Amino acid sequence: MSDHTKTDLVTLSRHVLADQQAHPAASGDLTLLLVSIQLGCKFVATCVRKAGIVNLTGLAGETNVQGEDQKKLDVLANEIFVNSLRSSGKVAIMVSEEDEDMIVVSDTDRDGDHASYAVVFDPLDGSSNIEAGVSIGTIFGIYKLLPGSKGTTADVLRPGREMVAAGYCMYGSSTTMVLSTGGGKVHGYTLDTTIGEFILTHPDLRMAPRGKLIYSINEGNSVYWDDACVEYFGALKSRTVDGKPAPYGARYVGSMVADVHRTILYGGIFAYPADKKSKSGKLRVLYECFPMAFIVENAGGRATTGTKRILDLEPTKLHERSGIFLGSADDVAELEAVYAKHA
Ligand code: AHM
Ligand code: MG
């Protein structure tokens, strides 16, 4: 018998379509929306791959100085996603890290009542890493508009638990998309550049309650940390087993997508806490904290501010920030216990 595994590829579109068809009421609109996000990610992946050579050699028609090229990639990625999402016809409003105001899709670009989604995204997160060729990514979350709404800020200023899907795409040594439409399922897909398709490579990603013993935080900020943080991370470093040192290992890329991706695959805890300098934290609730918390929870992990579940936050501003800790359930529970003690 021939081996079908190499020719019968499960692409992201095929997988999402099969998943949605399992729901008799599904219209296929979310599938089409996800196809437009995929296209955006493929386009950005190509631009990211070219960025290094453009910056270093001025090839590919770019003559700007390095700094400007850098900036342009953020702007370019934003334009790519806005255009791709708009052309899907399924999106009524968008919130992007790159735009102060909410983007309202015009009536002519809407597929009537089918434009029933709001998409929040960070088109190119971790962009300070571009020049060094370090992994960067796109983060997105999707809400269904509230009943009867044509798209207002009320459709996105909602708890993250109400998202219908969230994902990220990591532009690393390979291009990897991780996506969840809820229901405790998270899948990973890798871009096969030869055929231009995301292929299901990590079906049903699960995080064990305790994975590898890794902590991931910008420790340079420790001078600003609150007492709970100082105690918790101090304990990870001075951990002993049978009287012998058994400290956690430290890993910090400085790109949320890469740090969270590793945390999902290997385990441990990622943190960007609120501290004395960044009183509300650094990362944005809508398009950084919520999508990542949605994915992590659906994979069996947890995400908290220290005292509150991230997905229960109710943002009042589009670009609101929050402190965040996420990762393996047992690690996050221990962190919360320290915060409870200091309350
Ligand atoms: P950005 O949206 O300006 O790219 O900033 C977000 C990034 C995250 O990817 C990362 O977790 C964090 O900033 C790193 O910040 P720091 O350099 O302060 O450690
Ligand atoms: Mg960002």
Distance CA 44, CA 168 (A): 13
For residue 98 and ligand 1, the question of a CB distance below 6 A is answered with no
* Residue 285 region by backbone torsions, left for phi larger than 0, else alpha for psi between -120 and 50, else beta: alpha
**Strand 117-125 and strand 103-104: pairing?**
unpaired
For residue 127 and ligand 1, the question of a CB distance below 6 A is answered with yes
Q: Do 191 and 42 form a contact (C-beta atoms < 8 A)?
A: yes
For residue 126 and ligand 1, the question of a CB distance below 6 A is answered with yes
pLDDT for 56 beyond 50: no
Above 0.95 for ipTM, yes or no?
yes
Give the pLDDT score at 47.
Answer: 87
139 pairs with which residues across the strands?
A: 122, 168
pLDDT digits over 184-224, tens only?
Answer: 999 999 999 999 999 999 999 999 999 999 999 999 999 99
| Residue 61 banded pLDDT, cuts 50, 70, 90 | very low
Percentage of residues in the chain with pLDDT exceeding 70? 92
Q: Do 116 and 145 form a contact (C-beta atoms < 8 A)?
A: yes
pLDDT digits over 147-185, tens only?
Answer: 999 999 999 999 999 999 999 999 999 999 999 999 999
Q: Count Cβ atoms within 10 A of the Cβ of residue 46 and give its class: 0-12 exposed, 13-18 middle, 19 or more buried.
A: middle
**Strand 269-272 and strand 324-327: pairing?**
antiparallel
**Which residue's structure tokens are 């304990």?**
235
Q: Which atom of ligand 1 is nearest to the CA of 258?
A: 9
166 pairs with which residues across the strands?
A: 141, 180
Which residues line ion ligand 2, judged by CB < 5 Å? Answer: 122, 125
Extended beta strands in the chain, E state: 91-96, 103-104, 117-125, 136-144, 165-171, 175-180, 187-192, 197-202, 214-216, 240-241, 244-245, 249-250, 269-272, 302-304, 324-327
- State the angle between helix axes of 66-88 and 29-57 in degrees (0 to 180), rounded to the nearest 10: 160
Nearest residue CA, atom 15 of ligand 1? 254
